Amino acid sequence: MLELESLSVDYGTQRAVQDLSINLTPGQIGCLIGPSGCGKTTVLRAIGGFERPTTGRIRLGGRVVSTPDHIVAPEERRIGMVFQDLALFPHLTVARNIGFGLHRYSRDQRRRRIAGLLELTGLEGMDQAYPHELSGGQQQRVAVARAMAPRPTIMLLDEPFSSLDPELRESLPRELREIFRGDGITVLQVTHDQPEAFAMADEIGVLRAGALEQWDTAYALYHMPQTRFVADFIGEGIMLPGEVIDERHIDTELGHVRTRIPEQCSAGSAVDVLLRPDDIQHDDDSAVKARVVDRTFRGAQFLYTLALDSGRRVLCLAASHHDHPPGEYIGIRPELDHVVVFPGTA
């Protein structure tokens, strides 16, 4: 449905997007995530027809819409866009906002389409309201309904939830996901917010300085990051130094780890082991002890920052009835069966 082939975009002499290739199948919900300035918004604007690629091409529904030499105008692309600031038309009612892109429909068709979308997005009865009379979540739904109205080939969402309050940021992405799923709409979203990406997307691409680091499911990004950047950017964790013993084993402060070793690492070479908070289990009976340095209460769980004997810090997620003050030594049990290993930097 959407194919980016080696897409690069420049701003003047600055390369904003670098050799990016992505493929979204019909009905798939994709997401680009990365720190601010990584070029993710530029990708959306290029797909929308607002930026010209320097190299590569963009296909929408099989049709080439962007090459360095030729650009199909945004109004001829059949794209639905939702921006962070929503950009609702303030002087038009909800119904007219939603109907804005339906100028080729007959009056009757338009009315039916608007009514259908109002129902789908849970905005029944709001059709005559003006944007400023709506809550943040309702405005968001209007923006989505407006973008969906002309049945676009693809929906592009640019940080669509970042202006909402935390509660809506939880619930709305799931709601919208249901809506998109129900309609079989292909979606590409960009965000810097992980929970948002995890809640919406089937597959997520991590962008760094305009280049794609990894394109995978949320699970794979978290548990099988292919680069240090992805490991660092997605989820919490620390790097524990170790030394390769043989093709299967690494020696670390927390004992021997049996895992897959990167190909370029031979016996004796230094490596870093990615430890997620859930790789360290709290176990009062364990002989391995670590000192509590800091803890963050997270409702059901505590996130402990622990100091090992060497002084190195690790993270540990424990059920929140295990309440240990800083300074206390607690037992830990490393579960290092499927950890990811990176070649050492030193």
| Cβ distance to another protein smaller for residue 9 or 317 | 9
Which residues, 6+ apart, have CB-to-CB distance to 196 below 8 Å?
161, 162, 169, 173, 189
E strand segments, the chain: 2-11, 14-24, 29-33, 55-60, 63-66, 79-82, 154-158, 186-191, 203-208, 211-216, 238-244, 249-252, 255-258, 270-275, 280-282, 289-297, 301-307, 313-319, 329-334, 340-343
Q: How far apart are CA 250 and CA 267, in angstroms?
A: 9
Question: What does the alpha-carbon distance between residue 105 and residue 80 come to, in Å, rounded to a whole number?
Answer: 17
Q: How far is the CB of 70 from another protein (least distance, A)?
A: 9
Long-range contacts of 246-255 (CB under 8 A, 24+ apart): 250/341, 252/336, 253/308, 253/309, 253/310, 253/312, 254/288, 254/308, 254/314, 254/334, 254/336, 255/334, 255/336
Least Å distance, CB 338 to another protein, is: 43
103 vs 321, which CB is nearer to another protein? 103
Taking the least distance from each CB to another protein, the nearer of 65 and 230 is: 65
- Tell me the C-alpha to C-alpha distance, in Å, between residue 145 and each of 78, 119, 132, 177: 14, 10, 17, 13
Main-chain phi, psi angles of 61, to 5 degrees: 55, 35
Task: Please report how close the Cβ of residue 92 comes to another protein at its closest, in angstroms.
Answer: 8
- Whose Cβ is closer to another protein: residue 105's or residue 342's? 105
Output the CA–CA distances (angstroms, integers) from residue 106 to 51, 76, 111, 138, in the order listed: 32, 19, 9, 27
* Spatial CA neighbour of 277 closest among 258, 294, 264: 294
Tell me how many degrees the CA angle 52-54-60 measures, rounded to the nearest 5: 55
> Please, which residue, 72 or 245, has the CB nearer to another protein?
72
- In the complex with another protein, the residue whose CB is nearer, 76 or 108, is 76
Whole-number minimum distance, CB 208 to another protein, in Å? 21
Minimum separation from the CB atom of position 150 to another protein (A): 6
Residues that bind another protein (CB under 8 A): 9-12, 45, 48-52, 54, 68-69, 71, 73-81, 83-87, 89-91, 100-101, 103-104, 146-147, 149-150, 152
Residue type, 233: F
How far apart are CB 100 and another protein at their closest, in Å? 5
Which of 176, 239 has the CB closer to another protein? 176
Q: Shortest distance, CB of residue 284 to another protein, whole angstroms? A: 48
One-letter amino acid at 17 equals V
- Measured from the CB atom, the residue of 8 and 305 that comes closer to another protein is 8
Minimum distance from CB of 147 to another protein (Å)?
A: 8
The nearest distance, CB 152 to another protein, in angstroms, is: 8
Q: Kindly tell me which of 50 and 297 has the beta carbon lying closer to another protein.
A: 50
